[in-house]
Chain A
Amino acid sequence: MVSIPHRKSIWVFHLNSGACNACDIEIIDAITPYHDVERLGVKLVGSPRHADAILLTGPITIEALPKVVRAILAVPEPKIVIAIGSCACGGGIWRDSYAVLGGVDRLYTYLREHGIEPPITIYIPGCPPKPEAIVYALAMVRGLVEQKQKKIEYIEKPSIEVVEYIEKLSKEAKKDLEKFFKGIEVR
């Protein structure tokens, strides 16, 4: 569950900020009778003032930025932003382009600079994500399923034999090189 107010039906507003249409088609696919997110209480509305959540697609082009900010501000509290696709999550292949802001993270730094506290965000990576992934995200917002993703961290501990072998090798190498370059400092 993401937050207590979002346990009930969430109405969503679809906001395209310069996406290529792939993620938008997947959103439409999630609304069709085959996947049918309306059984989870999710409804597509035509105005951000009626919505609880924003389905944000696209890498947020500079041209779309003022409209995106206005749409996010128009959503009543408690609001939630669902970033759909790699572009919205982290900029995707446009991350370095001069024409885009590059993902919600940079949008939030922009909002913080202007004194606006960023809303709760759900990330759905994928290029585009499967409609099932979008359904899963909306079910997670409702508190019906749990988040599966976790940070994975691995720190290598090399075996003592290997470390000793390398130390021995570098000692020998140092001795050899000092003999070879006698009187000359190699730094």
Chain B
Amino acid sequence: MGRTDLFSKALSTKVVTKKYPFEPVEVPEGFRGKPIIDPDLCTGCGACANACPPNAISIEDDLENSFRIVKIYIGRCIFCGRCQDVCPYQAIKLSREFELVARDREDLVQVVKLAMVRCSLCGKPFTTIRLFMKVINELPPESRALATLCPSCKAKVSAYGTSFARR
């Protein structure tokens, strides 16, 4: 290629620069963007928090106000999509959002607070109402009483039950 050819090619090439911040841009198909929890579907089961490699999703129990707090900090998320794969109710999904710039750390947080069920014996909250209702509808009526107990009370009650049965 001679010098004139190169020059004419350079002239014939149009501007390649994108006008991006002033014009929207399309993301490719299958792009994994910001994970968003659908608060109407989430049950607070904790599968996503278990699967998350960088622990961007955390689950805490607020025992005083009886709330289970599902918190996702996108600043730590690596956008692997495992939460989306393991979620049994398809509540968390990776959107196509990528303009996640924030001035404050708190702007990158999504919080979902789910109401909890209190144990019928000790009064300690132990599971969310949504998860409880999903389980209780599957159970036969005679065993629903045990479902209202927290795991430690359930263990004590079953232990008493077996010791009485032996006598």
On chain B, the residues within 8 Å of A136 by CB distance are 20-21, 99, 101
**Residues 113-126 of chain B, each 1 if its beta carbon lies under 8 Å from chain A, else 0:** 11101101110000
Complex Cα spacing A10 to B39, Å: 40
Complex Cα spacing A80 to B93, Å: 33
- A35 CB to closest chain B CB (Å) equals 6
Selecting from A44-52, A60-68, A71-79, A122-130, the interface stretch reads A122-130
**Residues 43-80 of chain B, each 1 if its beta carbon lies under 8 Å from chain A, else 0:** 00000000001111000000000010000011111111
| In the assembled complex, A16 has its CB within 8 A of some CB on chain B | no
**Among residues 121 to 165 in chain A, which have CB atoms less than 8 Å away from a CB atom of chain B?**
121-127, 129-130, 132-133, 135-137, 139-140, 144-145, 147-158, 162-163
Contact at B78–A123, with CB atoms within 8 Å? no
Complex Cα spacing A163 to B133, Å: 10
Given contacts A147-B107, A162-B133, A172-B145, contact A154 B39 (CB under 8 A): yes
Contact at B76–A173, with CB atoms within 8 Å? no
Contact at B21–A139, with CB atoms within 8 Å? yes
Contact at B121–A169, with CB atoms within 8 Å? no
Which residue of the partner chain, among A149, A153, A180, contacts B108 with CB atoms under 8 Å? A149
On chain B, the residues within 8 Å of A4 by CB distance are none
| Chain B interface, number of residues (Cβ within 8 angstroms) | 61
Q: Mostly helix, strand, loop or mixed at chain A's interface?
A: mixed
Q: Mostly helix, strand, loop or mixed at chain B's interface?
A: mixed
| In the assembled complex, B29 has its CB within 8 A of some CB on chain A | no
Quick one: closest A residue to B133, CB to CB?
A162
| Chain A interface, number of residues (Cβ within 8 angstroms) | 63
Which residue of the partner chain, among B22, B27, B54, B101, contacts A122 with CB atoms under 8 Å? B101
Which residue of the partner chain, among A129, A130, A135, A149, contacts B107 with CB atoms under 8 Å? A149
Given contacts A136-B99, A147-B107, A177-B157, contact A127 B20 (CB under 8 A): no
- A16 CB to closest chain B CB (Å) equals 18
Contact at A156–B113, with CB atoms within 8 Å? yes
On chain A, the residues within 8 Å of B160 by CB distance are 181, 184, 186
On chain A, the residues within 8 Å of B115 by CB distance are 156-158
| In the assembled complex, B136 has its CB within 8 A of some CB on chain A | yes
| In the assembled complex, B112 has its CB within 8 A of some CB on chain A | yes
On chain B, the residues within 8 Å of A40 by CB distance are 21
- B108 CB to closest chain A CB (Å) equals 6
Contact at B16–A34, with CB atoms within 8 Å? yes
Name the residue in A90, A120, A149 with the highest tally of chain B Cβ atoms < 10 Å from its Cβ: A149
**Residues 10-26 of chain A, each 1 if its beta carbon lies under 8 Å from chain B, else 0:** 00000000000000000
On chain A, the residues within 8 Å of B76 by CB distance are 86, 89-92, 95, 103, 125
Contact at B112–A132, with CB atoms within 8 Å? no
Complex Cα spacing A148 to B25, Å: 15
Contact at B54–A91, with CB atoms within 8 Å? yes
Quick one: closest A residue to B55, CB to CB?
A95
| In the assembled complex, B138 has its CB within 8 A of some CB on chain A | no
Known: A86-B54, A127-B79, A169-B136. 12 other contacts (CB 8 A): A35-B18, A91-B76, A121-B103, A125-B77, A136-B20, A149-B99, A149-B101, A155-B113, A169-B120, A169-B145, A173-B120, A173-B145
Question: Top 10 closest A-B pairs, CB basis?
Answer: A170-B120, A90-B76, A89-B75, A173-B145, A154-B39, A127-B78, A139-B21, A90-B75, A137-B101, A152-B110
